[in-house]
Amino acid sequence: MTNNLDELKAENTLKNKAKSSWLTSFYVGMTDDVFSEDIRRVFIINLFASVGVLFTLPLGLVSLFEGKLVLGCFLLLIALLYAVNHIYLRRTHNHALSGNFVIYPLYVLMIYLVYTGGVKGTGHVWIYCVPAVSLFLHGMKRGLIELAFFTLALIVTMFFTNSHFEEFGYDPNLKSRILFSFIVVVFLSGIYEYSMSRFNQELKETSAKLKLVAYRDPVTELLNRRGMLQRLEASSYASFHLLLADVDFFKRINDEYGHEVGDYALVELANLIQTSLPEKGLASRWGGEEFLIAVCDCNESDAYALAELIRHKVEKHEFVYLDHRFHMTLSFGVATMNELTSLREAMTLADGRLYHAKRAGRNQTRRN
Ligand SMILES: Nc1nc2c(ncn2[C@@H]2O[C@H](COP(=O)(O)OP(=O)(O)OP(=O)(O)O)[C@@H](O)[C@H]2O)c(=O)[nH]1
């Protein structure tokens, strides 16, 4: 049992080390569930903002150097906004507002670039990054609505204003080509975003199913040993009590009535335990006919009293399966995990006390 605890701890330490620091930086530390839409958005906002700074900062400096004061200041302002945005996101995790800080200045910058022509008339070449970012950040519905408005703004800017676009001597057909190719990119980005979100949804469902299989016992539906250890190790409580229960002479039930009846008895026991737990109690199937219960926010006497309550409840309960009627009893070992006793030590103590309860005649609770 203690070996298992060590193995699990070692596995967790390795996993934590494997998380690369740059990835954690883009996820702003929220890496628990990488399939969550929120986490995906945080990641994309950070990635986009970083790439944005890398482009707008040098382009802004070049523009200033070439004497394009407004464009240069605009680009530098956006670089600053994106950098501040990362800090804001890191502190608040508010990706909804942060996403707006990324996308709305981007819309304005793109329309401005198309209107002025940007550096040497190349401003329009940047508009193709808009659809992907918009759909990523705001999803299919809102993203497409915003893109429709952006396309409208693009049409108005190119065809109905005195934009500087004409000054660069382009072919008159270029404007309509820009518009059509932009719509094609919107269409392709929409398909990509749709398939990505479906894939992500399926991945989420599969992950939830796998977690259920990995952390739950299929017979009793209680947490299994791995699930219980994970919960205990993740718990913020500095102290809790462990109640380790083992069914007395369980082998006889299997031998006398068959394995199916044995399974039924385990499910019935799990229900009796589960319905006796206080609000913050956790029950698990620790092994074959062993159950581990953890309770907190109570003293040692309360934990002992709970073990005794469950023991009496089980003792009095009549197990009925088809025409089989029988009784069962439990033996308990109780120990406390606190600042002085680690989880591993408390488990060893509970295990030893359970062993003494068995040796002393079974159907009893030992706390020392
Ligand atoms: N039906 C069923 N039996 C199980 C399951 N897991 C373990 N067992 C049985 O549990 C029994 C445990 O037997 P032992 O370890 O000898 O313990 P015991 O008969 O309860 O005796 P004590 O613990 O000494 O009181 C074995 O017969 C296992 O086959 C299960 O999932 N279903």
Q: Tell me the average pLDDT across 68-76.
A: 89
Determine the atom of ligand 1 nearest the C-alpha atom of 331: 25
Which ligand 1 atom sits closest to the C-alpha of 261?
1
pLDDT the model gives residue 15: 53
Chain mean pLDDT for the chain = 88
pLDDT confidence band for 162 (50 / 70 / 90): confident
Does residue 289 line the site of ligand 1, with CB under 6 A? yes
| pLDDT at residue 41 in the model | 76
Expressed in angstroms and rounded, the spacing between residue 290 Cα and the centre of ligand 1 is 9
Give the tokens for residue 251: 């082998």
For residue 14, is pLDDT > 60?
no
Residue 256 CA, ligand 1 centroid: distance in Å: 12
Task: Say what the pLDDT of residue 1 is.
Answer: 44
358 lines ligand 1 (CB under 6 A): yes
pLDDT value, residue 313: 98
Over residues 87-104, the mean pLDDT reads 83
Q: How far is CA 14 from the centre of its chain?
A: 19
ipTM: 0.97
Centroid of ligand 1 to alpha carbon of 289 (angstroms): 6
pLDDT for 121 equals 86
Instruction: Report whether pLDDT(26) > 60.
Output: no
Among the atoms of ligand 1, which is closest to the Cα of residue 259? 1
CB 263 near ligand 1, within 6 Å? yes
Which residue is closest in CA terms to ligand 1's atom 11?
251
Question: 284 CA distance to ligand 1 centroid (A)?
Answer: 16
Cα of 13 vs centre of ligand 1, distance in Å, is 33
CA of 255 to the centre of ligand 1 (A): 10
Residue 19 has pLDDT above 80, yes or no: no
> What is the predicted pLDDT for the residue at 23?
57
CA distance 137 to 123: 23
Higher-confidence residue of 325 and 86: namely: 325
Low-confidence winner among 105-109, 287-291, 306-310, 314-318 (lowest mean pLDDT): 105-109
**pLDDT confidence of residue 68:** 85
Query: So what's the pLDDT on residue 181?
Result: 97
Q: pLDDT-based confidence at 2, cuts 50/70/90?
A: very low
Pocket lining: 247 vs ligand 1, CB cutoff 6 Å: yes
CA of 218 to the centre of ligand 1 (A): 17
Model confidence at 86: pLDDT above 70:
yes
pLDDT tens digits for range 279-307: 889 999 999 999 999 999 889 999 999 99
**If you average pLDDT over residues 338-359, what whole number do you get?**
95
Q: Write down the pLDDT at residue 364.
A: 98
Residue 124 clears pLDDT 80, i.e. is over it = yes
Rounded mean pLDDT, 28-40: 58
Spatial separation of the C-alpha atoms in residues 42 and 224, rounded to whole Å:
33
Q: In the prediction, which pLDDT does 36 show?
A: 62
Mean pLDDT, residues 173-191: 95
| 9 vs 218, more confident | 218
pTM of the predicted structure, to 2 decimals? 0.64
Alpha-carbon span 283 to 223, nearest angstrom:
7
Cα of 249 from ligand 1 centre, angstroms: 7
Q: Are 108 and 71 in contact, with CB atoms under 8 Å apart?
A: no
Q: Would you say the CB of residue 251 lies under 6 angstroms from ligand 1?
A: yes
All domains of the chain, ordered by start, with CATH? 14-211 (no CATH), 225-366 (3.30.70.270)
The pLDDT of residue 288 is: 94
The pLDDT of residue 130 is above 60? yes
Residue with the smallest CA separation from ligand 1 atom 16 is 251
Q: Among 216, 254, 255, name the best residue to mutate to test ligand 1's pocket (greatest count of ligand atoms within 8 A of Cβ).
A: 254
The CA distance from 342 to 340, in Å, is 7
Mean per-residue pLDDT, 256-275:
97
